[in-house]
Structure 1
Amino acid sequence: MNFIASLIFLGLAASCLAAYTEKQQALLADVVGKCALELGVTLNSDLIERSKSSGNPFPDNEKSKSFVACFLTKTGALTADGKIQKQKFIDFLSEGHDANAVAEVVEKCAGVEGDTVEDKGYNFHKCFWAEKKFEL
């Protein structure tokens, strides 16, 4: 149980570093913890460290792709067959941020390609951080 509590704490700490609402912070902490447990990500893992810093895309490897896909799927932004749910992502991130700026980036990045669901999720993530012009 201590491990789970630590993951939730790290998720909350990561969320607090960025400009997220309390509602967003709660969802992010929950999802980060669940994905870390499902994928066997340890507290000293590079994935957890990267989740603490906004704008620091995950490295291009299978573990990162799985983590990003898990995260996007659990937030409802990615379907099981790899489709980006644009409005779901926009609705979530627009709270506390410029909805037009969020929508512009999501529209630009939602059509990314990939051979697998993990590739599509990762490519969306990479595009999003490269293209966003607003502060998170």
Structure 2
Amino acid sequence: MTTTSAARLRTSLEALNCPIVIVEEAAEVLEAHIVSALTVKCQHLILIGDHKQLKPSTADYNIETNYHLDHTSVLDRPQIRGVVKDIFFIHHTQEEATCLDSSKKNSHESKFLINFAKYLVLNGYSKQAISQY
């Protein structure tokens, strides 16, 4: 299925309990779209794509050019102190609220992120280290 369908059918993907996820034409798919399609049951992610056929792209040219997206330098970064994995998902059922300008907000997610930042400080990170990302 497409990544759009994967996001739309997220509950169906979770019900399948698949330990292996295969992404075809991965060079054309943004990382965020792939990550949003993963479930907690995923143990192995296989990305298939020919970077010579379809050039990888990003949604932000500045990030692509200035930060060398997918560069090998990211492999040497230390693990985040205080968390088991560097990527994780927060599942909740708190509804979004509509703002006056029809944009959305989720107070539950905001409170979680504030408390997570406090947790990282308690684990030895400076406030500046957290805010720079």
Is this a same-fold pair by TM over 0.5? no
The structure showing larger relative contact order (alpha-carbon pairs under 8 Å, at least 6 residues apart) is 1
TM-score by length of 1: 0.26
TM-score by length of 2: 0.26
Which of structures 1 and 2 has the bigger CA Rg?
2
